[in-house]
Amino acid sequence: MALTPTQRKHLEARLLEERTRVADALARYDSETRDTLQEQSGDLSAFPVHMADQGTDTADQELDAVNAARETAELAEIDAALERLYKTPEQYGRCERSGKPIPFERLDLVPWARTCD
């Protein structure tokens, strides 16, 4: 069953809401990374006193990098879904494998979904 205009509007709002959330998260990661680099390069007292502290700092930075990469990929998916919704609305909400409609319940949870499963 094709999406109703009300469902499309709801999903558009969900996509825009998720886009804002992801963009804000990426901005936070960027800001935290810049702050960390500034601390490390600008002040010798910022260097960890203990090797375990240095390991924790490195692990935190790596985790932030992984999260930022995941969020960047999610942002690309959201942007692609918005493009489908605006440019080819008849394709938005259709499974790319089977061509069947993606259930509204699935789209409500993951509005950038491309497949039924």
Question: Regarding the domain with residue range 5-40+52-109, which homologous superfamily does it belong to in the CATH classification?
Answer: DksA, coiled-coil domain (1.20.120.910)
> What would the pLDDT profile of 2-26 be if each residue is shown by its tens digit?
899 999 999 999 999 999 999 999 9
Coil/strand/helix, residue 102:
coil
pTM for the structure as a whole: 0.75
> What would the pLDDT profile of 61-80 be if each residue is shown by its tens digit?
677 678 889 999 999 999 99
Domain ranges of the chain: 5-40+52-109
Name the DSSP letter for residue 101: B
Where does the chain have alpha helices with state H?
5-42, 51-87, 104-109
Coil/strand/helix, residue 89:
coil
